């Protein structure tokens, strides 16, 4: 990518989009275009079409999405399906119409079947039933992958799809009901420490295993792949290692300095038993993550405290 190329980051205020923005500015790119959701509703086909026709971006990072944890995914099933289908369909089609040089579509590890063999290889896509709690979101992301492939096959568009594992880091969402497990636990352990609570209760049994990638590492991988990867299908982005939810809780307890007990409510759903990415395809191309979980958690907790000092978290 030329340093003067016009680059559109869809979702630049989210955790992923903001990490990509930081990476590009650090590398000296000076023609990055963004729009907030109040400035441009990505679900609005006409608005997106007009935006692309006016701006004519050269490169697009499609990081905008409606996201959330198990509760949000399972509660707002229609919203997660409709909003994500609209966002990605509008951006992918307008990118084709306006001859975007290259588009990167960011998906999620939840696209893989619930009981797929571990670690998850790219070829396991569509080989079995999905996890029911986040099926609408997964189906939308699978549709995005297939759209990129279809536009590549029919029109010759250089649209690529990358599938990050579970992400965390700066600018995460700490909402008590709609956030993912890691930021939700950071908030709960911090609040328990402040309140001097005797225990923190966590959903499920604590046995499911999850892989976590620091968002700035993801941005590094996206920058690398935008310049080197030009294939159909998808490519996993992750660390290739995982921890149990119980182990994660113990790490967050340590990082936040909470001294109480940890209880698990086994009446609540666990979700997928394990979601570990096979990252051999990515590593064979020359990229590997740098930030380990302990370091990343410390950086994330400090970011949470900084936000807490600036405003009241909702």
Q: Is residue 182 part of an annotated ligand binding site?
A: no
106 is in an annotated binding site: yes
Does the annotation count 137 as an active-site position?
Answer: yes
Is 141 marked as a binding-site residue?
yes
188 carries a ligand binding annotation: yes
Does 15 belong to an annotated binding site? Answer: yes
Beta strands in 102-220 (DSSP E): 102-106, 159-164, 166-168, 199-203, 209-210, 212-214
Which H helix or E strand runs over 263?
strand 261-265
169 is in an annotated binding site: no
Do residues 275 and 110 lie in contact, with contact meaning Cβ atoms separated by under 8 Å? Answer: yes
Q: How far apart are CA 154 and CA 149, in angstroms?
A: 9
- Was 13 annotated as part of a binding site? yes
d(CA 191, CA 257) in angstroms, rounded, equals 11
What distance in Å separates the CA atoms of residue 238 and residue 245, rounded to the nearest whole number? 17
Is 175 known to sit in a ligand binding site? Answer: no
Question: Pick the catalytic residue: 21, 96, 112, 137?
Answer: 137
Q: Is 12 annotated as a binding residue?
A: yes
- Tell me the backbone φ, ψ of residue 49, rounded to 5 degrees: -60, -45
CB atoms within 10 A of CB 39: 9
- Does 164 belong to an annotated binding site? yes
Is 172 marked as binding a ligand? no
C-beta separation of 71 from 203 below 8 A: no
Residues classed as catalytic? 137
Which parts are annotated binding residues for NADP(+)?
Answer: 11-17, 106-109, 141, 164-167, 180
Which parts are annotated binding residues for substrate?
Answer: 188, 203, 210, 270
Which parts are annotated binding residues?
Answer: 11-17, 106-109, 141, 164-167, 180, 188, 203, 210, 270
């Amino acid at each position: 990518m030329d340093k003067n190329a016009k680059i559109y980051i869809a979702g630049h205020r989210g955790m992923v989009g903001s990490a990509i923005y930081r990476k590009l500015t650090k590398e000296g790119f000076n023609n990055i275009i963004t729009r907030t959701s109040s400035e441009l509703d990505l679900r609005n086909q006409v608005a997106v079409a007009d935006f692309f026709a006016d701006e004519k971006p050269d490169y697009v990072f499609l990081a905008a999405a409606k996201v959330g944890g198990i509760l949000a995914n399972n509660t707002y099933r229609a919203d997660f399906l409709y909003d994500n289908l609209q966002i990605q369909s509008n951006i992918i089609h307008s990118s084709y119409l306006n001859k975007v040089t290259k588009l990167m579509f960011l998906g999620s590890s939840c696209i893989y079947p619930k009981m797929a063999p571990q670690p998850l290889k790219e070829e396991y896509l569509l080989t079995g039933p999905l996890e029911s709690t986040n099926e609408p979101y997964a189906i939308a992301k699978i549709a995005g992958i297939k759209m990129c492939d279809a536009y590549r096959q029919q029109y010759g568009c250089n649209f690529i799809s990358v599938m990050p594992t579970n992400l965390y880091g700066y600018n995460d969402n700490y909402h008590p009901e709609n956030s993912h497990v890691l930021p939700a636990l950071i908030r709960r352990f911090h609040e328990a420490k402040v309140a001097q609570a005797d225990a923190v209760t966590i959903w499920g049994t604590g046995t499911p295993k999850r892989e976590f990638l620091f968002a700035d590492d993801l941005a590094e991988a996206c920058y690398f792949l935008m310049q080197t990867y030009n294939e159909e299908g998808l490519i996993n982005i992750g660390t290739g290692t995982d921890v149990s939810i119980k182990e994660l809780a113990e790490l967050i307890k340590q990082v936040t300095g909470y001294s109480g007990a940890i209880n698990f409510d086994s009446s609540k759903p666990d979700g997928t038993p394990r979601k570990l990415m096979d990252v051999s395809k990515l590593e064979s191309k020359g990229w590997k993550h740098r930030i380990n979980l302990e370091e990343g958690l410390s950086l994330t907790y400090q970011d949470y405290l900084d936000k807490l000092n600036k405003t009241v978290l909702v």
